[in-house]
């Protein structure tokens, strides 16, 4: 093989190795967002998903000693039981939106490794003067506080 042939062969091997690294890195980091209806239509065990829906009222069960959290996510058409090991986020509650990341198990539930609590993008300032800390907050904003 000529010197030019070896150079082209070596270059192709390097380009193929770089392409494989890019493809494997992208394919491992891709996580699909699905609704409970879409997940239950074709659940694939052990495949990582992001599942979004509303936490059904009356389904939230929290065991602080064992850190076991279970609830049901619904999109209004289907419901998926979810289990998580760990503390829930502060904004997480029944009747609110949540996105969980994890995988479907063969036992018929979604095992979440991450919980993201969804909230409204609207900020509502406290208007009720009777709320604790409201007067102190307004004083500090006006600069009336003692210094």
134 has a pLDDT exceeding 70: no
Question: Tell me, what's the pLDDT at 90?
Answer: 85
Q: Distance of CA 103 to CAs 44, 109, 125, Å?
A: 8, 9, 38
Confidence label for 32 from pLDDT (cuts 50, 70 and 90): confident
144 pLDDT higher than 70 = no
What's the confidence (pLDDT) of residue 67? 93
Does position 129 have pLDDT exceeding 80, yes or no? no
Read off the pLDDT band of 2 (50, 70, 90): confident
Nearest of 49, 97, 93 to residue 76 by alpha carbon: 97
Tell me the C-alpha distance between 50 and 101, whole Å. Answer: 4
CA distance 102 to 71: 14
10 Å Cβ neighbour count for 55? Answer: 24
């Amino acid at each position: 093989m000529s010197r030019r042939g070896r150079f082209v062969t070596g270059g192709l091997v390097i380009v193929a190795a770089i392409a494989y690294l890019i493809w494997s890195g992208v394919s491992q980091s891709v996580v699909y967002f699905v609704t409970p209806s879409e997940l239950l239509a074709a659940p694939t065990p052990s495949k990582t998903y992001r599942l979004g829906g509303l936490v059904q009222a009356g389904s939230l069960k929290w065991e602080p000693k064992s850190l076991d959290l279970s609830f049901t996510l619904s999109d209004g058409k289907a419901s998926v039981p979810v289990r998580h090991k760990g503390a829930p986020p502060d904004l997480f509650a029944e009747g609110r939106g949540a996105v969980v990341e994890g995988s479907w198990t063969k036992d018929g539930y979604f095992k979440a490794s991450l919980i993201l609590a969804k909230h409204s993008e609207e900020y509502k300032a406290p208007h009720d003067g009777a709320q604790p800390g409201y007067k102190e907050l307004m004083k500090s904003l006006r600069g009336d506080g003692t210094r």
